[in-house]
A and B are shown apart, each in its own frame.
Chain A
């Protein structure tokens, strides 16, 4: 049997997914990146290797997420795609006919508008990270509430309080103020959910035509409080797909499958990568005042990639970008 791997290396989590030739999801893995993407990728690969039977042959591998170039260097990827495209592809595969994708992750949030199965428009938060998963994490920790109970607690609310959602610093002081006035916890949490949704729709969803079916994915989709706030605000049913937290990886796997159909062979280096010895080193290039910190990745003492230089002097020797059109 032939399987395809999708790897999504994000700021908070690293996700690995295995799909079969009918694009059904066989295995999923969601682990924390913890600032060590290389280790997380190797750990993910090891997990898949141990899970699958020996007759599964990996036909292709795709990467996405902010660490997509790093992971493609390490693993050997057939497709390297940005997370917006990957999320859109996964959404339209798993929920046919979807017209709007709401995605809130750890550090970013985006909205994707699809029409006839194709991305028609998208937006991503730009200068402010208010209203992403990290902020909810922080607030739950401050209230000494496990993040898993955040949503169910918010659902118990009957009269959500109004909280300023424009800026996370203001939101926090507003929450403390309401809490000291004596509002109960579930009303405050529900108010926070509504503030977040309001902020998201005003900033990220600004000017976009939101039509159903609407799906909600990314790590924050686990929070039923946010889901209900979206439904209340949009007046539409919000669907949470089964694999909501690994959708990027699913998209990457689907894209890899499409790419391999075109090229015929895979660039995947094989599961041996999980045990290989990767070393990242960096040096400061002092040839101009930009003083770029160039990163150098080596596998078994051999340099396989360099990046992070502005002029391309160091990276050009190794990288070859593919033309999209």
Chain B
């Protein structure tokens, strides 16, 4: 059995670690590229949203590399994602690609439902090993997120453009290659040291933008055309509403671990959105409220073209923006690979926030108010 899975940002690191730990052979699909997109769009329904198409491309490219089993996440609720695995399985069958598909549905009642599915893949391995493997994979997700958070802080402050991204690429490689918890701890420490040694300008007070929206397009840089990197290089400190480790905890562990999750964001959504609208619609609104309260300068919503939950959120955002007093901007992502248009819009939004901040700072200075240095 050679297992593969779809890409979603750095998720491949966790899944690779999980399967390797259990001695299951794993085929990581090539990183999403224009070829992935072309293969995916060619074999997907035209009206499907972008993540489905990229997934399809991933599966086909993994098949070329010899994979025979797909591990795919399932879902519930109004978002189309819950139906992806079934649609993809049928398409693969139609085009003559024979692969087994194991769908990990989010547990409805108890985490054991997930473990039973995992058992399908692990065969004779003991429960003890399975739990340990999951824990190790989760540790990797946390490590990646920790590095990401530091990068968000220092990218806008780097003296030499691109310095942070060079270290980031290395750090991700080290985390990916770590074989056990001890090595992982070591490389994480090393990565943090390397990041700390990058020359940065701490006197700069960057604009702070919160990124909200649909999880796949937030986490997958190929799809969001590297917004975090572009914003960072423009001098913006970004924070995103969702991290991989939080998502795993919320959706697969049923929030068993005590860490920041989507619950806090959902609680802030009323009175704008009072109930679940599918996907991350409610979290998008809740997180926007949160960033507004935390005095961020602006919020960017990322959504795939045609995403229903995010369309609901998009239509509510102007009201939130007005009442909370935080500028928002919605970026719709689809098959376009040219980033010129996206950069133009991001630049204009950042300009808007920069001007606004300048004026606010001037009035604060004039009143002699206390200005907090944010680092």
Contacts and interface: CB of A to CB of B under 8 A. Distances in A.
A320 B355 CA distance: 22
B93 interface: no
B161 A320 contact: yes
A3 B46 CA distance: 53
Given A119-B348, A127-B305, A289-B30, 8 more contacts: A81-B347, A82-B345, A124-B345, A288-B31, A289-B33, A323-B233, A324-B234, A325-B350
Contact of B348 (A85, A289, A290, A321): A85
A84 B344 contact: yes
A68 B349 CA distance: 17
Contacts of A288: 31, 33
Contacts of B334: 127
Contacts of B161: 316, 320-321
16 contacts: A83-B344, A84-B344, A85-B348, A118-B352, A118-B355, A127-B332, A289-B33, A289-B34, A290-B34, A290-B35, A291-B35, A312-B162, A312-B165, A323-B156, A323-B235, A325-B235
A66 B349 CA distance: 16
A170 B33 CA distance: 35
A83 B344 CA distance: 8
B347 A118 contact: no
Interface string A298-325: 0000000000000010001000110111
A324 B351 contact: yes
A323 B162 CA distance: 12
B332 A290 contact: no
Interface string B207-219: 1000000000000
Contacts of B350: 324-325
A325 B162 contact: no
B35 A289 contact: yes
Contacts of A268: none
A127 B333 CA distance: 10
A65 B305 CA distance: 25
B332 A82 contact: no
Contacts of B278: none
B351 A82 contact: yes
B173 interface: no
Given A316-B162, A323-B235, A325-B236, A122 B348 contact: yes
Nearest to A80: B347
Nearest to A118: B355
Contacts of B111: none
A121 interface: yes
B356 interface: yes
Interface residues of B, number: 39
Contacts of A124: 344-345, 348
Contact of B327 (A85, A121, A289): A121
B233 to A, nearest CB: 5
A146 interface: no
Given A124-B345, A320-B161, A81 B351 contact: yes
Nearest to B35: A289
Contacts of A118: 352, 355-356, 359
A126 interface: yes
Contacts of B181: none
Contacts of A127: 305, 332, 334
A119 B233 contact: no
Nearest to A208: B318
Given A289-B35, A291-B34, A119 B162 contact: no
A119 B357 CA distance: 12
A264 interface: no
Given A312-B162, A316-B162, A323-B235, A122 B347 contact: no
Contact of B354 (A66, A120, A325): A325
A120 B352 contact: yes
B233 A321 contact: yes
A43 to B, nearest CB: 23
A289 B332 CA distance: 25
Contacts of B234: 321, 323-325
A182 interface: no
A148 to B, nearest CB: 30
Contacts of B34: 289-291
A207 interface: yes
B295 interface: no
Give the 6 A-B CB pairs with smallest separation, nearest first: A323-B235, A84-B348, A289-B33, A325-B207, A82-B347, A207-B318
Interface in A184-218: 207
Nearest to A288: B33
A126 B161 CA distance: 29
Interface in B309-333: 318, 327, 332
Contacts of B349: 122
A115 B347 CA distance: 19
Contacts of A289: 30, 33-36
Contacts of B351: 81-82, 84-85, 119, 324
Given A120-B327, A127-B305, A325 B357 contact: yes
A120 B332 CA distance: 20
B356 A324 contact: no
B364 interface: no
Contacts of A126: 332
Contact of A66 (B206, B233, B344): B344
Contacts of A207: 318
B371 interface: no
A82 B347 CA distance: 7
A312 B234 CA distance: 15
A323 B237 CA distance: 11
Nearest to A207: B318
